[in-house]
Structure formats: structure tokens, C-alpha cells
Structure 1
């Protein structure tokens, strides 16, 4: 049926003379079949012309269907019924001819109304799709604008916190404000990535790679420490991406600040990979280990990481590394693939 309607849509777009020619061909074919089976059919039968009218109206439109009905009646009067020329002398045959014309015109009318309804429905569907596309595009623009404004506001707050922190003489207060500025900057980076497209999700590979690049510049400098990332391609919602980015920030900052005292050389590895139904984020270093880091004040960052992990529906585990150092793993449910 779908193929027939598709064929009808194409054939109805043909020029008028071609559609009339097609209807005439169907009518003549019906006449030929009627003449061939004339001895087998009761007298006055016009049933074989009905499909010609039906398919003419279906394939070539109402005008062609009306022409097929009139042409069929004329051919039947001339070739099939008693009388001279187009004059029908038998009242029963004349009634059958009139009835055929009425039935044929009814068929044409019904098909015209049906195709008109289909055309209107197609137009409404097209308009609805266009409206939905426009709405989706506008939503994407609004999202980008919101992300842009949010990113700028967060950058402004981070700058204020950095200025306030650098102006303080108290080392502990200065470190607290600078840490807060770093966390605000992480959230700002999430919205910066969200601003780049109309999607509602944030790609994690560029987020973590860029975040670690910033931490490398800010905290490593000329120290003999390598910071490496291995992130699988995946996207998370804004809330989930923000939580993961903050956890990466806390764990990497802790490792860079406390795991390698006195210019000790080492490596920090950040890995995000899908494992079954979960995503596993691992931050591992070969530094001085857990006890030494906690004695130097790294406990708050780990507490914050555990709190954010609960928001993700996951948990953070912190263990000693395979040889030395520390291994922190966050495991939480992965989004549907």
C-alpha cells in the first residue's frame, strides 16, 4: 500500500495530458477485457470498467477519474449495448449505464477526499516537524547563551577569589580561597564545553584533558612530574560532568601538592573507562603514599571527592598503589550507550 501511494503521488504530478492519456489507456484495456469476456458475462455488465475508473482516480487524480467514468460510459454505449451509435434503446441497459456513471463519480469523489485528507495531514506533519526543528534550534541557542553567561559569571567569581586569596597574608586562608577559585574554574570549564554545541551532554575527553593541562601548567612547572590522561569517548549530563571534573581536580591537586615533596620525581595517571555497566575514574600516583599525604592536609579533597561520588550514585575507594603511592578510584553507573 505504501508503494502504491508513493506511485500515486508521482503519477499525479504528471502533466494533465499524460494523466488523461493514462486514464484512457486503462479504460481501453477494460473495454478490451470486457469484449474478450463478453460471451461469459451477463448482458449489460459494466463491472470491468469500475477498476479502470478506480485506478484512474487513484493514480492520475480526480479529473482523470471523471474522464475515465465518462469515457467508459461512452464506450459501453457504443460497443456493448443495443442501439445505434451512443443511443441506448434498452431501458435496463440505460439504467445500468446511469448507475455506473453515478458509482464511478462517487468513487472519484471519495478518492479525491481521501487524498485531500492525506495531503492536509502531510502538510500538518511537515509544519509540525518544521516547528519542532525551529524549537530545537532555539533551545540550542538559548542553551549556548545560558552556558556562555554562566561561564563568564563563574570566571568572574574565580578571578575575585584569586585576587582576594593573593591579597591575604595568612597562608591557610590564602590556600583555601585559591582552592575555591580552582573549583569554580573547573565548573566554568564544564559550561565552556557545553557552550560549544547544542547538545545537553558534555564530552568527557576534552574536559579532563584540558583540565589536566591547566593543572600541569599551574602546579607542575619545572618539577619532574608527569601527568598523563587516558579517557574513553563518553558524554555525561551537566551535573554528572561537573561532579566528575571536580573529583578529578581534587584528586590530581592532592597528588601534585602532597605526593611528591622535595622535588621528588613521579607520575600521576588519570584514566576514565567504561567497565561493564559502570564508568571507572582512576587517579593513581607513585608518590609518598596515603599516610604521608593525610598528615600534610590532603584529607579535605578526598572527603569532597567522596561526597561528590555519592551524588553520582557511586563511591570512591582509596588504596595504596601497586608499588608505591596512592590509587583513587571512582566507580558510578554509566549512561546508556
Structure 2
């Protein structure tokens, strides 16, 4: 299971405040750039000597901290007074210039205070998001461990029973628990949403089913599935359906150590997802009795407003399950 740490801060927002020396140097550089730009613009901004220094103050407070914001106010005030307020190249100011300079200092101080407060709030939200991701990671890990304990207990119970029917039922239950545990193992979080890459998940599931069920029979399990991010609950549903259909093919399609192949195809549709499981075995039995696995597949599909159909082909049997799914993120998004 992997976790993509979500954050309350936008990608461009600085995550860490540099050292004090770097922060001071950066603040001086920002004010110097504002001074040069103001000097190059010259006459058009003659009546607005402090106009370009407000963004410099905001940028220093945003990138560094409140102290650097206050330093930017002091440097900007001195630069405006010395270079851009008559008499030029002098810190002697006429009384008429004190009012606009005072307004600049007050408004800049307000901007610094608000920016620093927003930075602190955003930092707290960012820490909360990271802590939530860690908690989700821990929850998924514990869930996986709990499922492993359940599977081990069922396996022990199966070994202690001498009834083949009980052993088979418990082995089937263990396989279903392992399907859910496998989904937890591949669970990842993005912005608090649990997602599973269905292609990667089913690839591991089909490989495991083939190794478990084929024995000495030359039976291949082949998967065609796109890289699609779906919710963890939907991944469990799909995994259980594939598990039941592939297991059913191994049980009935290849009698007498017959070889062949089981193809699993999973693809998106306009409404959700389509699962095709076809084999080249003995074909569909006409008088097949609907067992627990078949009822489970139909129930799972019905929960997702889907249907399951079975069709006899020239070379075997073909099951199709269509599910109505919504993909995480922006509604229906393929990863």
C-alpha cells in the first residue's frame, strides 16, 4: 500500500522558510529588483513612488516570514524616499510626502500581518493533511494484517477438518479474504481518496489464481486491463468477481487434466467497467446449478447497477459482467 501525501498548500507555495541569512538576502534582492524596475519606468510613475514596492513587501512576507516583511517595508520606504521623492538622492522629505509614506507603511504592515497569518494557517492545514495520510496508511496496514489473521485462521480450520466439502468451502473463503487483502495492499491515497490501480491489482490476482488452481495442468491465465484508478470498494468488487469467474473456469472448463487458457479482459465503458472472462475449455454446461460463487457474482454486479451474462462460444464459455462505476477525482478519470 502506498500513500500520496495530499497537501493543503498549492504547488507554488513555499513549504520551508530558508535560514535567516538567506531570508534577509532574498528580501534585499526583492526590494532591489523593485527599485530597479521603478527606476526604469521613471516618468509614468512619478506620482506613485511607492507603487511597485507593495508587491515586493507581499512577496518577502510570503516567501520568508513576518520579520522579512517588516524589513522589506523599511527598505522600500527608504528606497522610495531617497530615489523617487523630491528632493531626489536625499532622505530629507517634504511634509506633503509624509502622508503617502505613512499610508504605505500602514497598509504594508497590514499586508504582512495578513500574509503571515495565512501562512501559519496553511502550514497547520498542511500538517493536518499529512497526519491524516499517515493515519490512513496505518489503518490500511492494520486492515491488511487483520485480514491476514482471518485467512490464517480459516486455513488452520480447513486443515483440522477431515470433511472435503468443509475444506473446499474454507479454502474458497480464504481466497475471497485474500482478494480483499490484495486490494488493501495496493491501496494508495490521493487527496484523501483511496484508489487502486485496477490493472496492477488484477495482474497480481490472476497470477496468484493461476499458480493456486492449475496444479499440473497447462492452463494459462491472461489479463488485458488498462491502467485505471478506481475506488478501493469498487476494486474489491471487481476482484471478487474476477476471482469467482476464473475459479469457476478452472473447476468446470478443463476436466481430465485438460489444458487451455482463461482470458480476463477489463475495460472502461461509457457507464463504468466491463469484465470479460472467457475460456477455451469444455464449454458452458446446459444444466449447471447456480452455486454460491455464481450468486455472489450476480449480487456484487447488482450492487453496482450491473448485470452478468453467460454465453457459449465455439471454443468454450464466455462470462460478461458490466458495472456502473464512478471514478475518483473528477467523476470518471482514467489514470
Q: TM above 0.5, one fold?
A: yes
Relative to structure 1, is the Cα distance of residues 25 and 278 closer, same or farther in structure 2, using a 3 angstrom cutoff?
A: closer
Residues 276-285 or 177-186, more deviating? 276-285
Question: Which has the larger helix fraction?
Answer: 1
User: 8 Å contact 1:204–1:241 — kept in the other structure?
Assistant: yes
Residue by residue, what CA displacement relative to the aligned partner does 1:206-263 show, whole Å, maximum 9, x if unpaired?
2111111111111102102111111110111111111111111111111111111111
Counterpart in the other structure of 1:110: 103
User: 8 Å contact 1:259–1:289 — kept in the other structure?
Assistant: yes
User: 8 Å contact 1:216–1:227 — kept in the other structure?
Assistant: yes
What is the aligned counterpart of 2:47 among 28, 47, 50?
Answer: 50
In structure 1, distance between residues paired with 2:46 and 2:52: 11
Larger radius of gyration between Structure 1 and Structure 2? 1
Q: Offset of 1:123 from its aligned partner?
A: 2.6
Would you say 1:141 and 2:138 are equivalent positions?
Answer: no
Please give the root-mean-square deviation of Cα atoms over the aligned residues, in Å: 3.6
Would you say 1:153 and 2:150 are equivalent positions?
Answer: no
Would you say 1:245 and 2:239 are equivalent positions?
Answer: yes
Counterpart in the other structure of 1:72: 87
Would you say 1:310 and 2:307 are equivalent positions?
Answer: no
Residue by residue, what CA displacement relative to the aligned partner does 1:162-217 show, whole Å, maximum 9, x if unpaired?
12122222222221111111111111111111269986201111211111111111
User: 8 Å contact 1:161–1:177 — kept in the other structure?
Assistant: yes
Q: Runs of 5+ in structure 1 lacking a partner?
A: 1-9, 34-47, 76-85, 87-96
In structure 1, distance between residues paired with 2:252 and 2:145: 31
Counterpart in the other structure of 1:91: none
Residue by residue, what CA displacement relative to the aligned partner does 1:279-306 show, whole Å, maximum 9, x if unpaired?
11111112223326825xx632111011
Relative to structure 1, is the Cα distance of residues 210 and 23 closer, same or farther in structure 2, using a 3 angstrom cutoff?
A: closer
What is the aligned counterpart of 1:132 among 97, 100, 125?
Answer: 125
User: 8 Å contact 1:20–1:64 — kept in the other structure?
Assistant: no
Q: Runs of 5+ in structure 2 lacking a partner?
A: 1-24, 57-74
Q: How does 1:125-274 map to 2 (within 5 A)?
A: 125-194=118-187, 200-274=194-268
Q: Which has the higher contact order (CA 8 A, sep 6+)?
A: 2
Q: Offset of 1:21 from its aligned partner?
A: 8.3
- Aligned to 1:207, the other structure's residue is in SS state helix
Relative to structure 1, is the Cα distance of residues 292 and 110 closer, same or farther in structure 2, using a 3 angstrom cutoff?
A: same
Q: Offset of 1:313 from its aligned partner?
A: 2.7
In structure 1, distance between residues paired with 2:34 and 2:224: 69
Counterpart in the other structure of 2:288: 294
- Aligned to 1:200, the other structure's residue is in SS state strand
**TM-score normalized with structure 2 length:** 0.72
**TM-score normalized with structure 1 length:** 0.72
In structure 2, distance between residues paired with 1:49 and 1:152: 71
In structure 2, distance between residues paired with 1:173 and 1:121: 69
Q: Offset of 1:155 from its aligned partner?
A: 0.9
User: 8 Å contact 1:290–1:325 — kept in the other structure?
Assistant: yes
In structure 2, distance between residues paired with 1:23 and 1:256: 76
Q: Offset of 1:105 from its aligned partner?
A: 1.9
* Alignment coverage as a number of residue pairs: 283
Residues 270-279 or 215-224, more deviating? 270-279
Counterpart in the other structure of 1:330: 321
In structure 2, distance between residues paired with 1:219 and 1:73: 89
